[in-house]
Structure 1
Amino acid sequence: MSRRLRSVELEFVATAPVRLVFAAEVTASPEAVYHALADDVPGWPGWFTAVTAARPTEDGAGREVRLKGGFVIHETILATEPGERYAYRADRASAPGMRALLEEWRLTPAGTGTRVQWTFAADGSALYRLVLRLARPGVGRAFRDAVRNLDRRLAGSAP
């Protein structure tokens, strides 16, 4: 069952009770990474294995994302800065205990490639916050795998 979450703005990325921040470098350009994040929403399951389906909504101003485990998140896109930043908040979610969520992808040139930084900023019940903190290593692995898969995909080979 989907529940409405607290509406947060971009500042939440710095003030959230739980912030999971991960970074990795890829050989793809910031523009190519941005395109995969923001313009090819249905392509996410091809590189981020936690995502089973994704589609733009509201004429591209939102997204519906389905995750492994059957969770569904309805999102509003808050920042679209081509080649630099893509951010969105969850407005409704079926994840138990979640009260607020904002994800931000920052892209910066790194040599001939890109440094990709993902911030998962969240709030929720005490149990939800504890589970997120304990899940940090696994979430980090999922991020690194996703970015590696994305880099392979952008280089023209399937992940």
Structure 2
Amino acid sequence: MAHRLRPVGLDFIDVAPVRLVFAQEISAAPEGVFHALNDDVPGWAQWFAAVTHARATDDGAGRDIRLRGGGRFQETILASKEPEVYAYRVDVTNAPGARALAEEWRLAPSGTGTRVQWTFAADGTALFRFTVNAARAGLGRAFRDAVVTLDRRLAH
């Protein structure tokens, strides 16, 4: 059952009760990574294994995302500053216990490539917060696999 989450801003990413931060260096340039995040929303399903469907909504101001296992998210873009940051919040989801969710992708030049940092910020019931924290290792692995796959995709 889908439910509406608390609308949060960019500041939530720094103050959320649960913050998971992961980083990975890849060889692709920041501009190419930013383009894949911001401009090629359907492409997410090609490089982020957890994503089965992604499409831009509201003339690019939002996204509709579906995940393996049945997760669904209607999102609003909070920041889109090329080539440095791409962030969004979840407005509606079927994730039980979630009260607020936002994600931020920070891109920084690193040698000839990019340091990609992903922050997953969340609030919810005690059980939801526990579950997100318990999923840290799996989310980190999913992030690393995704950006390595994205790097390969951008190299071609």
1:2 offset after TM fit, Å?
1.2
| Poorly superposed stretches of 4+, deviation over 4 Å | none
SS at match of 2:135: helix
1:64 aligns with 2:64: yes
**Which position in structure 2 is the counterpart of 1:109?**
109
Q: Given the alignment of the two structures, is residue 76 of structure 1 paired with residue 76 of structure 2, yes or no?
A: yes
The equivalent residue for 1:138 is: 138
CA distance in 2, matches of 1:72, 1:59: 20
Distance 1:134 1:102 in 2: 18
Q: TM-score, normalised by structure 2?
A: 0.99
For structure 2, the 5+ residue unaligned runs are none
Aligned position for 2:129: 129
- AA in 2 matched with 1:46: Q
Same amino acid, percent of matched pairs: 66
Provide structure 1 residue ranges, at least 5 long, that are not aligned to the other structure: none
CA distance in 1, matches of 2:29, 2:97: 37
Instruction: Show the counterpart of 1:39.
Output: 39
Q: Does residue 49 of the first structure (1) align with residue 43 of the second (2)? A: no
Q: Which SS does the other structure have where 1:108 is aligned?
A: strand
Alpha-carbon RMSD across the aligned residues, in angstroms, is 0.4
**What TM-score does the superposition give when structure 1 sets the normalisation length?**
0.97
SS class of match (1:19) = strand
Distance 1:2 1:62 in 2: 17
